[in-house]
Chain A
Amino acid sequence: MTHDATGSRPDRGRRLARILLATLLLVAVAIGLWNAHSNADRSLAARLDSVTSGLRCPTCSGQSVADSESDLARRMRAVAAEQLAAGRTPDQVKTYFVQRYGRQVLLDPPLSGLGLVARLVPFVLLVAGGVIIARRLGRRRGILTGAVFTLGLSAVLVGTGVLGPVIRQSAYPPPTLPAGAAASPTASAQRTTGTHAALEALQSGDARTAEREARGELSSARHGSRRWQDALLVLGLAQHQLGDKQAEGTLQRFLNAAPKHPAAPMVRKLLAGG
């Protein structure tokens, strides 16, 4: 469509109006999507649902823990809800169940062996699809479309987690409910905070949470108290696991503050080993 430089006023006005309308709509869409994204349900119920729909009920024929009505599934939901309420992340809760029921309790294939094949198949298909599109549509546009198709959908897949996250069966002892938890579930909810939570996080491999919890404990505990020493120890171990350069300093502070702590020999060995 060609216009001469001096398009008639009503034409220009209409075009301007259309562009304005389009921009307005685009802005509204952007704000709307951003709003929807930030409103995304992060409540306990939603997190519980995301955890339980990724777990398989061990005694049902392949149903997920979220869907199944069996007694075991109900109990697993209750345990998961309790742990989430106590502050654990969905990944930690999944790790908890994997440690007890084996890797097959996860409804997501692992990142090794046949599971890796399953996870890679969509990418292989995307590449094949891109090649097919490129060949069918002719040289220039075909290659462009094929590339956009493959890369675009690959990005979407990676973003939604086709290649992760990885839930490992940890080498550490399984995180356990503190003593007396069976008698008083609410009591256990109170106790899995602070140093306990930090220690459990450390044992399940989640060093970041451990660090965060330990720092919280350090700030709230009385300086030099037993609780403070424990928190310092956990902080140092967490930093060490994360490869943080401050780890050495923290652990040394711990040794200076509590040379007779039962964990001191282990820490000394750790510092000596480097």
Chain B
Amino acid sequence: MIAVVGSFGLCIGLCGALATTGLWVIAARRTRAAADPRAATMIIAARQAGWLTLFGAALAVAAMEIALIGDDFSLTYVAENSSRATPLLFRITALWSALDGSLLLWLLILSGHSAVLAHRIASLSERSRRPDGAVGMVAAAVVSAVAASFFAVTLISTRPFARVLPAPDDGPGPNPLLADHVAMAVHPPLLYAGYLGLVVPFGYALAALITGGARQNWMTAVRRWVLAAWLCLTAGIALGAWWSYAVLGWGGYWAWDPVENASLLPWLTSTALLHAARRGRAASGLWTVTLAAASFLLVVTGTFLTRSGIVASVHSFTRSDLGPALLVLLLGWAGVTVALVILRGDRLAAAPAPRSTDLLSRGTALLLNNVLLVGLAITVLVGTLVPVASQAWGGPQLSVGAPYYNRIAVPVAFGLLVLVVLGTIGRRRSAGPAALRRRAALPAGVAAVVTAALGLSGARGVAPVLALGLGAAVVTVAGRQVFGVLRGTRPRGWWSRRSAVGGHLAHAGLAIALAGIAASSSWAASSEATIRPGGWVTAGGSVVQLHRVGRHTSDGRTETAAELSITPTGGSTRPATAALTYYPGRSQTVPVPAIAGTWRGDAYVTVLAIADDGSTVTLRVSDEPLVGWLWAGAAVMVTGGLLAFAPRRGVGPVRARRRIEPTAADAIGAAPDGLAPADLPTPVTLRRTWVNRS
């Protein structure tokens, strides 16, 4: 019964998505043919069809969840991925702990985006029916077409609601690594939200190409979608890194694993997109279209690599039949995009040359930012695909790992930090080299002081010292800008100017995170030793003492725990437990690390082996300096992004048709969303821009 409902839901979803696509296409054509009144019915129907698609996906997800929560082992998926002993939370998250179920979550979020976009386009069209509105409709059509293709792939290649008869009594439960920590409830949905948030800019990009939308500022409308997706991606990636470091005991937070790279690639291009799509007509040119399209195509590539099993990764699902279907989907959409770019690319406005001729202006910094980010993305993509290609063409087996990627990523990271400083202190119209020197004095001074202090006090290695110095400079300029904004605000408070603050906060967060990465990579120390109770191990400045070894068995697992006292560098001693947990049902041993940290760094302990009689324990202790700064920096980045998400001051929904008053704050604030006085659009273009802002 449940299986039938679920499959039915998927079919509804597919039909709904196809219907939505068709209806939007018809609506767009009728709208372009000069305000055809029948377009209104089409739009209403399209909106309903969008909700229908979402309903179908929700039905499928609900069916699977009911089966999981209710321990209905007649479904193959539940029989393989759940058990009676699994706690409720992890039975719910078992939906996305394996391949078939995670596709259902993917479809839910994708159809959610499609439905929300359909709703917004329909709402806007109700208020004003202009031929220009066709861009939004075509975009909605593209998004629902993407949804339809994913529904089709799911229905054709996988059978999430397959049944097993007779139904077994119990199952082995989800992978123990995925049923251990509450992060499992947050990380995959957040990551999927980030990935699929990029489908809307993709839709608009293709729509702009199809309709030749050179006249509209469609990118301004879409920018908030990009920002939302970027936020979810940043949070998702950071959470994943933290999870692998703190919970899964994989020894590090980033391994340049192919699946991790797959999540990094769209993040890089969407960051580039955020910086390229800032304002004006340049924002809707061919370059931003390419970036927007590339971001989503990279998402699909990443999904393909993760689910097809052709890359060797600790994250990948087991190999399945989904590979060929996803490949067809990827090549299909990539082909469509490339064809559109080639055939219609010249219709889009070419980005005008930057107005400032000064080398050290923000325009130059943005250009270099895009070059660096896209260059890194291409390199990471090549590095990920080269082993696959070498194996596919029968060549020698290659491995591409951390040494290769670090060589490129580290200079790019330094370059980005420098660009943040240059871009923030540079103005669009430079007031002259003297003013520039004045603005540069403080950050340069701070960087110099920090670098010199660290170097002279005996810190090791040029790279981390430079990273900390540059990071301090970035935090300084960001702080100065934020301070300037806050100071210039009317007594109503900074909350109304929060969008101006957001970008700088994100930059500061990035600098803090990069400093944490630099320090924990270069200054880490680790040691392994076999000790008896009472003995201790040191690494760097951390000391770990072993007290007892205990073993206890509970609901399907045997845990052998080492009770320790950990003293991180410069911190106080505290008790902790590191363990090796054995799951006989899956014949898998999972190490559980013990971490004790201060702001100065973590002491990270894992148990490598325990003697059979419990007399000795082999411990691995790592001293990871400043690794906490990575999490703090990521949190600051996300906060900054959330602040930047706020609507621009004075601009709300369509009804607020006020002119923006230039204030002193605008003159000072070099905010990503702020407008310099000379750049204010005229009232006519202002109205047009607002209408298209969805």
Contact = CB atoms under 8 A, between A and B. Distances in A.
A40 B461 contact: yes
B465 interface: yes
B681 interface: no
Contact of A121 (B312, B316, B382, B390): B382
Contacts of B466: 33
Contact of A138 (B353, B386, B449): B353
Interface string B4-48: 000000000000000000000000000000000000000000000
B460 A114 contact: no
Contact of A40 (B313, B460, B609): B460
B396 A113 contact: yes
Contacts of A26: 448
Interface stretch (A125-133, A234-242, A262-270): A125-133
Contacts of A114: 386, 389-390, 393, 395, 398
Interface stretch (A55-63, A191-199, A211-219): A55-63
A25 B445 contact: yes
Q: Which of B252, B375, B393 has the most CB of A within 10 A?
A: B375
B460 A41 contact: yes
A63 B449 CA distance: 39
A144 to B, nearest CB: 8
Interface stretch (A102-110, A202-210, A225-233, A246-254): A102-110
Interface in B451-478: 451-456, 458-462, 465-466, 469
A36 B353 CA distance: 42
B182 interface: no
Nearest to A27: B452
Given A114-B389, A125-B379, A33 B367 contact: no
Contacts, number: 199
Contacts of A82: none
Interface in B604-636: 606, 608-609, 620
Interface stretch (B73-81, B95-103, B319-327, B520-528): B520-528
B408 A64 contact: no
Contacts of A137: 354, 359, 364, 367
Interface string A10-27: 000000000000000110
Given A32-B452, A133-B368, A136-B367, A109 B608 contact: no
B155 interface: no
What does DSSP make chain A's interface, helix, strand, loop or mixed? helix
Interface stretch (B226-234, B292-300, B399-407): B399-407
B455 A162 contact: no
Contact of A29 (B383, B455, B620): B455
A103 B396 contact: yes
A118 B383 contact: yes
A54 to B, nearest CB: 5
B399 A69 contact: no
Given A104-B396, A122-B379, A33 B451 contact: yes
Contacts of A104: 396-399
Interface in A86-141: 102-110, 113-115, 117-119, 121-122, 125-126, 129, 132-133, 136-138, 141
Given A35-B456, A39-B461, A129 B258 contact: no
Interface string B421-465: 000000000000010000000000100110111111011111001
Nearest to B400: A109
A113 to B, nearest CB: 6
B434 A145 contact: no
Contacts of A261: none
A244 interface: no
Contacts of A108: 399-401, 403-404
B378 interface: yes
Contacts of B375: 122, 125-126, 129
Given A32-B455, A35-B455, A39-B458, A67 B255 contact: yes
A45 B524 CA distance: 10
A188 interface: no
Q: Which of B250, B251, B258 has the most CB of A within 10 A?
A: B251
Nearest to A74: B608
A33 B462 contact: yes
Contacts of A77: 528
B386 A69 contact: no
Interface of A: 1, 25-26, 28-29, 31-37, 39-41, 45, 49, 53-54, 56, 60-64, 66-69, 71, 74, 77, 102-110, 113-115, 117-119, 121-122, 125-126, 129, 132-133, 136-138, 141, 144-145, 149, 153, 156-157, 160-162
Given A37-B461, A119-B404, 9 more contacts: A25-B448, A29-B448, A32-B451, A32-B454, A45-B526, A62-B311, A69-B608, A115-B398, A117-B386
